[in-house]
Amino acid sequence: QVQLVESGGGLVQPGGSLRLSCEVSGSIFRINVMGWYRQGPRNKREMVAVVTSGGTTNYADSVKGRFTISRDNAKNTAYLQMNSLKPEDTAVYYCNADSLSAGLEREISWGQGTQVTVSS
């Protein structure tokens, strides 16, 4: 079973920065894609950024140029550096991992979520 533990959320003023971390543990053969998703109080969960094991990234248009996703494959950890934060970035941020278990079964796993609030 795969576990994801997120950290780094909090309250920040508009224009500020936060860095989220997501550590994946468990019986893992390989993590193919890691990503960050978010869900605001009145919105559906949406993709924020994803990164493949080879480092290819994809971002939502709303965060391009402000957010940067990265990963450390040796540590099974993904990061989301968020700069120039706006009030509309306020949401619960969820980490996601698309992995292969030690038995080569595909698993889609989610973290518990971390709250990001952008407010003055």
Q: Provide the token pair at 6.
A: 């997120």
pLDDT in the model for residue 63: 98
**In one letter, which amino acid is 49?**
A
pLDDT 10s per residue in the chain (120 long)?
899 999 999 999 999 999 999 999 998 999 999 999 999 988 899 999 999 999 999 999 999 999 999 999 999 999 999 999 999 999 999 999 999 988 889 999 999 999 999 999
User: What is d(CA 79, CA 21) in angstroms, rounded to the nearest whole number?
Assistant: 5
Report the half-sphere exposure of 114 (CA within 13 A, side-chain side). 19
Whether residue 17 contacts residue 85, with contact meaning beta carbons closer than 8 Å, is answered with yes
pLDDT in the model for residue 94: 98
SS3 73: helix
pLDDT in the model for residue 112: 96
pLDDT in the model for residue 43: 87
CA 6, chain centre distance (Å) = 8
